Amino acid sequence: MHTKIKELLQFGTVDAKVEIKGWIRTKRINKQVVFLTINDGSCQQNLQVVMTPSELPKTLLNQLITGASVAVSGSLVASKGTKQSVEVHGHHLTLLGNAPDYPLQPKAHSLECLRTWVHLRFRTNTFGAVFRIRHAISYAIHHFFHERGFFYLHTPIITAADAEGSGALFRVTSLDAPPTHPDGNVDPREDFFNQPTHLTVSGQLAAEAAAMGLGAVYTFGPTFRAENSNTSRHLAEFWMVEPEVAFNNLDDTIVLAEALLKFLLDYVLKNCPAELDFLNQRLLNDRNEQDSTEPMPLLERLPFVLAHPFARITYTEALAILMDAEPNKKGKFVYPITGWGMDLQSEHERYLVEHHFKRPVVVTDYPKEIKAFYMRQNNDGQTVAAMDVLFPGIGEIIGGSQREERMDYLKAVVQRTYIQNLNWYLDTRRFGTIPHSGFGLGLDRFVLFVTGMENIRDVIPFPRTPGHVPC
């Protein structure tokens, strides 16, 4: 039985007989010794294996190159080197898989270049760190909700309702060429589900129905949007966590959102120190000390966000701040602030967070015209009980609201916006309606923040973006 490198580094006893399996990161060789650094993905650190070249056949020695996989048995010894506390003195080595022409050499490849090898980039230090952190966050999400009595709900991926009413949908069909009416329109009755269906843009509507029986639920899964947004913050397939809570109002949901984000930050700081150290150093190496707009180093940024309460303002207040902001007055915003009712762009969100408040900001009470149909109308008749959480370097990381629980209000919006297939949803208001609230956290955007990576394509294993499905 082989042992994971993580376990050897934590619990290994010197002189113990061990077997490790992994991939060669580097090889150094001289007449007396071969040094191999091996990584098996269990942790950030490599393990150094030391062997005598004369013990290895020449052909085997030539095959020990970066990317090849090996099994090594030997004994764990205290290391003479300064980089590691222990190393393995190998007695026996088996080559598991050769790697001629392996493209990832032990030098820094650009992230753009690694995006052309998404299937191999898991074997680099950077992506090892990112995906171990992504796992830790996902695990902590379940932990957070379970501890608070929420039930994990699997909401469907194929749906008939457009939850956000935005129309950015991927159609689902089993037909090669959908039959058309004489007028040229597609006839969905002949398709698999006898009606138009698509990939879900949000599990919220299903979660609302469940919250009205189970009290507090969360859904956590892949979400699909056919927006043609080729930005560093948008994916066509991304992961969203959506809690939905019966009897919660807008304030309660803001408190829940802040508690979740801080719990996750704290979890990663405590459980992924080696990964964070590596990513922090990576950013420091790229840092331009002359540039005063450089953000705080990662290892200062995360504790800073954890330690400070999020700022809270209304949309109307946000707009007044932005109207008065230097970049607006000097014409530096790509989208100038034109007046009340306009949607906030990520440059505006980032101005509020990075320049004005210098910490995460929760913006509430947006104009109803720019928000989804299900948000609860405020007494002013103009705004809805919405909230967006804005993060440094990212902009919007969470979108949520109190839901419209009043049947007459909801029906009026549904009719006005022509949203189809919502009869079942209206039933939740017909029978025992209640105030309730929830939000959606974009997992990928949160991983972006925690890892300090700059492009969302670098925090999801296999990114899907307009015109691009690498594998």
CB under 6 A: which stretch of 27-35, 101-109, 265-273, 438-446 binds ligand 4AD?
A: 438-446
Q: Which residue is nearest to Mg ion (CB)?
A: 399
Which of 45, 46, 204, 465 contacts ligand 4AD by CB under 6 A?
204
Distance, CA of 404 to CA of 382 (rounded, Å): 14
Tell me the closest approach of the beta carbon of residue 242 to ligand 4AD, in angstroms. Answer: 4
Q: How far is CA 256 from CA 20, 113, 245, 437, in A?
A: 43, 39, 10, 10
Which residue, 74 or 399, has its beta carbon nearer to Mg ion? 399
Q: Does 242 bind ligand 4AD (CB under 6 A)?
A: yes
With beta carbons less than 8 A apart as the criterion, state whether 387 and 250 touch: yes
CB under 6 A: which stretch of 116-124, 129-137, 227-235, 377-385 binds ligand 4AD?
A: 227-235
Which residue, 354 or 444, has its beta carbon nearer to ligand 4AD? 444
| Other CB atoms within 10 A of residue 189 CB | 10
Partner interacting with residue 188 (select from ligand 4AD, Mg ion, none; CB below 5-8 Å by kind): none
Tell me the closest approach of the beta carbon of residue 224 to ligand 4AD, in angstroms. Answer: 9
Within 8 A by CB and 6+ apart from 105, the residues are 66
Site for ligand 4AD in 384-423 (CB under 6 A): 396-400
Tell me the closest approach of the beta carbon of residue 376 to ligand 4AD, in angstroms. Answer: 12
CB under 6 A: which stretch of 4-12, 152-160, 237-245, 418-426 binds ligand 4AD?
A: 237-245
Tell me the closest approach of the beta carbon of residue 26 to Mg ion, in angstroms. Answer: 45
Q: Does 445 bind ligand 4AD (CB under 6 A)?
A: yes
Distance, CA of 165 to CA of 63 (rounded, Å): 57
- Per-residue b/e over 136-173, b at no fewer than 16 CB within 10 Å? bbbebbeebbeeeebeebebeeebbbbbbbeeebeebb
Which residue, 238 or 267, has its beta carbon nearer to ligand 4AD? 238
| Other CB atoms within 10 A of residue 50 CB | 18
Which of 74, 438, 452, 463 contacts ligand 4AD by CB under 6 A?
438
Q: Does 240 bind ligand 4AD (CB under 6 A)?
A: yes
Q: Does 442 bind Mg ion (CB under 5 A)?
A: no
Which of 127, 145, 238, 425 contacts ligand 4AD by CB under 6 A?
238
Tell me the closest approach of the beta carbon of residue 396 to Mg ion, in angstroms. Answer: 6
With beta carbons less than 8 A apart as the criterion, state whether 212 and 434 touch: yes
Site for ligand 4AD in 138-197 (CB under 6 A): 163-164
Q: Does 399 bind Mg ion (CB under 5 A)?
A: yes
Name the 3-class secondary structure at 114. helix
Q: Does 395 bind Mg ion (CB under 5 A)?
A: no
Partner interacting with residue 134 (select from Mg ion, ligand 4AD, none; CB below 5-8 Å by kind): none
Q: Does 128 bind ligand 4AD (CB under 6 A)?
A: no
| Other CB atoms within 10 A of residue 298 CB | 20
With beta carbons less than 8 A apart as the criterion, state whether 340 and 390 touch: no
With beta carbons less than 8 A apart as the criterion, state whether 186 and 424 touch: no
Positive or negative: CA dihedral 425, 430, 431, 435: positive
Of 128, 31, 40, the closest CA to residue 88 belongs to 40
Which residue, 125 or 223, has its beta carbon nearer to ligand 4AD? 223
DSSP 434: -
Name the 3-class secondary structure at 403. strand
Q: How far is CA 93 from CA 33, 55, 58, 412, in A?
A: 14, 10, 13, 72
- Binding positions for ligand 4AD, rule: CB under 6 A: 163-164, 202, 204, 225, 227, 234-235, 238, 240, 242, 396-400, 438-440, 442, 444-445
Q: Which residues contact Mg ion by CB under 5 A? A: 399
